[in-house]
Amino acid sequence: MLLAREQESEPFQKLGGQEMLKFTRRNAIAGLAALTAATSFSVVSSVADDRSSIKIGYAVSKSGGNATGAGITTIPNYELWVKDVNAAGGLELPDGSRLPLEVIEYDDRSQTEEVVRAIQRLGAKDKVDFILPPWGTGFNLAVAPLMDKFGYPHLAVTAVTDKAPEFAKRWNKSFWFLGGGVDYAEALSEVLSAAQEEGQINNKVAMISVADGFGIDLVNAARPALEDKGFDLAYDVTYPLGTSDFAAIVNDAKNSGADSFIAFSYPPGTFGVTKQAQVAGYNPKVFYTGVGGAFPVFKKISGGQQEGVMGIGGVQSDSKAIQAYFAHHTEEIGNPPDSWASAVTYSSLQMLQEAIRRVGLDRDAVAKELSTGEFDTIMGKVKLEDNQLRTLWWAGQWQGDNFSAIAPAGGTGTVAPVIPKPAWK
């Protein structure tokens, strides 16, 4: 039986608009300020003792600008995992006993200060056994110092950062599952370089990026990666968060002469630029988008014309385990998962579950097991390298009904990219 109760922290100020939060100095100050109020916590017993449940807490954006991403990638997988665990009788402990999960959740309202405050409350007041991460790079960076201070393993599943190796050393119970901007940029440049060598595209690229940590990391990595492959950046502009009119950007990209269009975008930009490209009749041979391109809703956004669109992420679409996960997610949640971070999110929870089965509820022991152990997941066998997941699919493409992995070339489960993309109808 699921012992769930949804709480709200102190009054929130509702955030409107479509902006995604960025990790700024202000965010860091918010996280560090909360540390001053943190107190020491005793280590949780590794056996069931007299407890009746295991408390799992999280703060995720159920409203505000981050709600679209969190509502597709994070929240459904948390709910699915809790349901699966409790349907099996609860989390298994080393002695073979099982305890059901009790969930305490907060809506961070897409505000950095609120996610920090909620994490502090989960640790200091609610005293949950484990805390699951928020959605997004900025929020994971904001709460990382606090998670470390309280001694919780931090599964930073939806954070893309080139500083993951540095952060894993600074906060040794933090785990980084989604790679960095360099990984995605270099993989994309390899795909384009192979196409250019085959004569499928010219050497010109039109590139846009959102002015936030995600877009900045990716575009800063993409510029040298593309130039090293001999590409000319015929168009390279950054647009501010909250941009809703992409007409001028699309027209300039269309007039650049580039066969390849790249958008390092968040969902509002991904959806907006796709619709505008269709309106303008902009048909580059390669059309690549950022976050949101792998979302199941992209089919509807593109009017059923997703075929050939490339983007960040991807899954091994011919994997029986992935197919079973997609079917199970769709049946239980009512919607399919995304084809990038959803499978990674559920896999991270499988790893946490197995680590607890092996070593119990001692958070230090769980963190050590996550760092050193090997785990069977829906993505196959997973073993972290220096607290980082490195066996990922870096680029994908809509081919039929699947957003299939196309990079790294020759990697497990990847398919050959199809170029050119069919023209919009």
Q: Is 50 within the bounds of a domain?
A: yes
Q: Is 291 within the bounds of a domain?
A: yes
Q: Is 81 within the bounds of a domain?
A: yes
Q: Is 293 within the bounds of a domain?
A: yes
Tens-digit pLDDT string for the chain (425 aa): 344 444 444 333 333 333 333 334 445 444 444 454 444 443 444 444 579 999 999 999 999 988 988 999 999 999 999 999 999 999 999 999 999 999 999 999 999 999 999 999 999 999 999 999 999 988 999 999 999 999 999 999 999 999 999 999 999 999 999 999 999 999 999 999 999 999 999 999 999 999 987 888 899 999 999 999 999 999 999 999 889 999 999 999 999 999 999 999 988 899 999 999 999 999 999 999 999 999 999 999 999 999 999 999 999 989 999 999 999 999 999 999 999 999 999 999 999 999 999 999 999 999 999 999 999 999 999 999 999 999 999 999 999 999 999 999 877 889 999 999 999 99
SS3 98: strand
Compute the distance between CA of residue 424 and CA of residue 334 in angstroms, rounded to an integer. 29
Residues 303, 376, single domain; the answer is: no
Q: Is 131 within the bounds of a domain?
A: yes
Residues 72, 12, single domain; the answer is: yes
Other CB atoms within 10 Å distance of the CB of residue 248: 11
Residues 201, 253, single domain; the answer is: yes
Sequence-separated (6 or more) residues with CB below 8 Å from residue 304: none
DSSP state of 48: -
**Torsion angles phi and psi, residue 239, rounded to 5:** -120, 150
SS3 280: helix
Compute the distance between CA of residue 95 and CA of residue 113 in angstroms, rounded to an integer. 40
Q: Could you tell me the CATH number of the domain that includes residue 189?
A: 3.40.50.2300
Which DSSP string corresponds to 126-188? Answer: S--SEEE--SSHHHHHHHHHHHHHHT--EEETT---TTHHHHHHHSTTEEE-S--HHHHHHHH
Q: Indicate if the alpha-carbon torsion angle 77, 244, 237, 228 is positive or negative.
A: positive
Quote the domain boundaries for residue 291: 181-317+394-407
Residues 232, 312, single domain; the answer is: yes
**Torsion angles phi and psi, residue 101, rounded to 5:** -85, 135
- 376 touches 390 (CB < 8 A): no
Sequence-separated (6 or more) residues with CB below 8 Å from residue 170: 148
Across the strands, what pairs with 104?
Answer: 5, 57
Sequence-separated (6 or more) residues with CB below 8 Å from residue 188: 222, 225, 262, 288, 310, 394, 395, 407
Compute the distance between CA of residue 168 and CA of residue 178 in angstroms, rounded to an integer. 13
Residue with tokens 């020759």: 410
Q: How many domains, in total, are found in the chain?
A: 2
Residues 287, 342, single domain; the answer is: no
Q: Which of 262, 244, 395, 376 is nearest to 321 (CA)?
A: 376
Q: Is 102 within the bounds of a domain?
A: yes
Other CB atoms within 10 Å distance of the CB of residue 5: 8
